[in-house]
Structure 1
Amino acid sequence: MPLSRRDRFALKSQMVEVVTEDREWTFQRTNLLLAEYGLQTIDPYDNNGEFTFADSIKDIGDADLVEMYSLVTGVEPENVQSQIDMGDSSLWKPGYVRVFLSHSALHKQFIGQVADELAVSGIHAFVAHDTMEYEQPWQDQIEHGLRTMQAFVAIVHPEFLPSAWCQQEVGWALGRGVPRYVVRYPTDPVGFIGRTQWPQGGGMNHRQVAAEILQWVSRIPEFSDQIVVGLLAALRSAGNYMDAGATASRVATIDTLTPGQWDELDEIFHANDQVGGGSLAHKALRPLYVRHSRQWPPAKPVPF
């Protein structure tokens, strides 16, 4: 599929930024790259900047643009389209961690409940037939979800194994190299993804499965801050003791809080009376504080 003008502009802009700001891209190296693609080279003695790298690549074809972008940025060619898609996808909620939830269609109601639980923790779980938009080819949307996911989770019920669709989704995750996780419910996965000892989910309800996935996502450095920021914001704005308790329970599953995040949690405890004065929030947070040898109840922050 041809690149849109928006896509071409985005790729070119990023290449210009790298080539002009990275000291490794000398005139000699830049001209070697341009010459390789049959493009006009830059005069190193042109002090007025009358002809630049951006001028040279303005008419480059799509295939060469993707390949050159890969050489300049280090992004693998097969992942360039995924990177483009990540910037603009109506299938995903903005700002949420994008997790593709692979499952057997027979259990889509249960998986939908898991996704709903994850949503309040800043994780958008793609669930086929729930996430997809109307009047759009369903297979195209599944492929788009697989191209743009940031992480992959398989919930392996017995019906998962004979499903060609589920196995293809696993193949996408392995091929793209995104973080991946499996919950056995209770079946063991097969193939390459089966070589890891995955947790057993048999007997878990949807809230427990969601908590298991949340704990895993929160341990991935590129996602942990995003998750914690969302949870702390939700806890700060909780308007009743039920919401405060539910959010506090999710915060309590995260064992990667930074010193600054601990300080913020202390401050929220005293700033929101639904947290500091709510029995459900207390019940959830106290074991977290004790487990990390933190003072309970937290000391009131000293104002500057």
Structure 2
Amino acid sequence: MPLAARDRFMLKRQMVDALDQNPDWDFRRTNMLLGEFDCTPLGGYGNEDFLFEDSIRNVSDAVLIEMYSLVTGAEPVDAVAQSHASDSSVWKSGYVRVFLSHSAQHKRFVGQVADELAVSGIHGFVAHDTMEYEQPWQDQIEQGLRTMQAFVAITHPEFLASPWCQQEVGWALGRGVPRYVVRYPSDPVGFVGRTQWPQGAELDHREVASLILEWVSRMPEFSDQIVDGLLAALSRAQNYIDAGATAKRIATIDTLTPSQWNQLASIWHTNDQVGRAGLVGRALAPYYSSHGQTWPPLNPA
């Protein structure tokens, strides 16, 4: 299966970050790598501003995965897993895949955070809630870690004492995925503790979810997927409250593609929790008007 565009972007971004942060990857060594894969070298007359990402722009998936492994030290299987994550039963299709690391004592609160994120098109993996029955639990956690697109640790005292939580942090660091910490209220330890992270001890689950959503939304590799996830969440809405909350988030998007407008119209006509919900209409009617779209939307079927 070909790598998705978002996964190619993520692999390239992680390589660029690794090259910038590791002094061993100097100009000479980087050009040696590019030469091995028949890519245009950096520097030289006429291309002083030519960047590494320019050189690898059109490499094949196979070359990209092999280069990623050489630069980051990660196993190629981790890169390949990204393209097959949609086949994994531990994630909702179309949603941004965020692993929520926490101690078991706080799984109820973290589950509420995950429920709030789902309204915004983000699937928060919560061990023992996300996992399927009658399946090896450790295998499912590893599958979640192997195929996550981003990692969030919610650190409380029990988190710091848990070897499982610390292994999950190590996995995220080793894979180089985007990572974020909410102190609840404990400061993280180890390498991830070098950054100043937000304090969440006084926040409820909605406010913690809002922090995570704001962080995810800032990353360009997730922008298209956030829209797709929001549309998927609206399509699956089983009550008018969730439908209204999702519609409000959709109305904050700058614009939609023609295909996304059609998908939104189809959802409005096929899910009665959307089409019959006043909360949805109040959120979407001004949005449609401001973009020159007909309201209520015509049925594209």
Where do 5+ consecutive residues of structure 1 fail to align?
1-8, 12-28, 32-67, 287-294
> Retained in 1: the 8 A contact 2:120–2:230?
yes
The answer on 1:301 being equivalent to 2:292 is yes
Report the CA distance between 1:172 and its aligned residue.
0.7
Report the CA distance between 1:167 and its aligned residue.
0.9
Distance 1:197 1:276, change over 3 A: farther
> Retained in 1: the 8 A contact 2:151–2:180?
yes
Distance 1:276 1:180, change over 3 A: same
What corresponds to 1:81 in structure 2? 77
What corresponds to 1:182 in structure 2? 181
The separation in 2 between residues aligned to 1:111 and 1:196, in whole angstroms, is: 22
> Retained in 2: the 8 A contact 1:70–1:80?
no
Larger Rg: 1
The aligned runs of 1:1-304 (5 Å cut-off) are 69=62, 73-76=66-69, 78-86=74-82, 87=84, 88-232=87-231, 242-251=241-250, 257-260=253-256, 278=278, 282=282, 298-299=289-290, 301=292
Report the CA distance between 1:280 and its aligned residue.
8.0
Identity %: 63
Distance 1:298 1:193, change over 3 A: same
Where do 5+ consecutive residues of structure 2 fail to align?
4-35, 39-60, 295-301
What corresponds to 1:3 in structure 2? none
Which amino acid letter does the alignment assign opposite residue 192 of structure 2?
I
Residue 92 of structure 2: SS of its match in structure 1? coil
Distance 1:299 1:276, change over 3 A: farther
Computed over aligned residues only, the root mean square deviation of the Cα atoms, in angstroms, reads 4.0
TM-score, normalising length from structure 1?
0.61
Structure number with the bigger relative contact order (C-alpha 8 A, sep ≥ 6) is 2
Aligned residues: 228
> Retained in 2: the 8 A contact 1:184–1:200?
yes
Which amino acid letter does the alignment assign opposite residue 69 of structure 2?
E
Distance 1:120 1:299, change over 3 A: closer
> Retained in 1: the 8 A contact 2:121–2:233?
no
Post-superposition CA distance 1:216-263 (Å, at most 9, x none): 1111111122112332565689797634431244447x6xx44547x9
Residue 76 of structure 1: SS of its match in structure 2? helix
> Retained in 2: the 8 A contact 1:246–1:281?
no
Distance 1:239 1:281, change over 3 A: farther
Distance 1:241 1:300, change over 3 A: farther
Distance 1:119 1:237, change over 3 A: closer
Runs of 4+ in 1 over 6 A off after TM superposition: 236-240, 274-277
Which amino acid letter does the alignment assign opposite residue 187 of structure 1?
S
